[in-house]
Chain A
Amino acid sequence: MKKIKLILYILSFTLIFLNNLNADNSQQIDKISKNLRCLICQGQSVYDSQSDFALSMKVLIDNKIKEGKTEKEIYDFLKNKYGEWIVYEPEIGLNTILLWVIPLILFIFGGILIARKVSIK
């Protein structure tokens, strides 16, 4: 009886281990699809959405990873097809420089305010 239990334990552990070995692809799919906007159900990411578009997109990402494409290549491919809007993180460019700089400016500004308040006291 004990032997059977032991064998069962070992078997289940190896199964879990094998599962984890195969899972790294899906982790990468999750990572990429979290950064993609679902164009059908706007406001959701491809990762969250169950729309046909998002499901196909996940299959496509899987295929591209299997082809050996890197994350950046996949983003570039999709940007080429759908425009920059599909990724959540906008590139730094002339159009988006304000977007990136304003939080920094506000942060520094706030820092100065706090520093002054503290030094006055």
Chain B
Amino acid sequence: MIKKIKFVIIILFFSFIFFVFFLGLDKPNSYLPKKNITEIDTSLVFKNLYDQKEIVLGELISKNSFSIVNIWASWCLPCRDEHEYLLKLKNLNKINVIGINYKDKKSNAAKFLLDLGNPYHEVLIDLDGTKSIEFGAIGVPETYLINNKIIVKKYIGPLDQSKLKDIIEIIKNEKN
């Protein structure tokens, strides 16, 4: 009798473990930070790419209702892919697009914008990458849709047609 009970318990135990691992197979194993920051620190001070003037982030963001902060670098290949979508965003003329140049050389960054066009109303630099951490960024490219100092949505990786649509839709909905 005891043997039987033991046997059943062991079977149950292993099937439980099997079940847990089986469910775990479906889970994606790469972790993306949950969107639990909503507010950004507007007292951050950045330097401008071209004239090295210091600018407080809050001044740039509170101008318009919607702003986009895009973290990019000239050495980052996906940033080239997303560039046309940023230019499209700029052409909408409704959104304030701010670029943060991540760990880059000034000359390379300037050349990048000269070659591909400048989609940004303001280009700020983040030489050591610490300011991007304040946004909760883990790499380049990353794009933040900001409304009144609050991050509405975060896009990790290069922008594409569907993300662009998403951004435009969010802005439309908010205005209605």
Residues of A within 8 A of B (CB): 39-40, 42, 52-53, 55-57, 59-60, 63, 80-83, 85-86
Does B134 count as interface, using CB distance less than 8 angstroms? yes
Is there an interface contact between A56 and B128, defined as CB atoms closer than 8 Å? yes
Enumerate chain B residues within 8 angstroms of A57, measured Cβ to Cβ: 133
Of the A-B pairs whose beta carbons lie under 8 Å apart in the complex, a sample of 29, sorted by A's number, is A39-B31, A39-B33, A40-B138, A42-B29, A52-B103, A52-B139, A53-B139, A56-B103, A56-B128, A56-B129, A56-B130, A56-B132, A56-B133, A59-B129, A59-B130, A60-B133, A63-B130, A80-B36, A80-B37, A81-B37, A81-B134, A81-B135, A81-B136, A82-B33, A82-B136, A82-B138, A83-B36, A85-B31, A85-B34
Is there an interface contact between A53 and B129, defined as CB atoms closer than 8 Å? yes
Partner among B30, B31, B129, B133 whose Cβ is within 8 Å of the Cβ of A81: B133
- Least CB distance from B155 to A in Å reads 16
Partner among A56, A63, A83 whose Cβ is within 8 Å of the Cβ of B33: A83
Enumerate chain A residues within 8 angstroms of B30, measured Cβ to Cβ: 42
Q: Interface readout for B28-56 with A: 1 if CB under 8 Å, 0 if not? A: 01110110110000000000000000000
Contact residues on B (Cβ < 8 Å of other chain), bracket: 10 to 19
A42-B30, A52-B102, A86-B33 given; 6 more Cβ-contact pairs under 8 Å? A39-B138, A52-B103, A59-B128, A80-B36, A82-B138, A83-B33
- Least CB distance from A50 to B in Å reads 13
Complex Cα–Cα for A58 and B4 (A): 57
- Least CB distance from A55 to B in Å reads 7
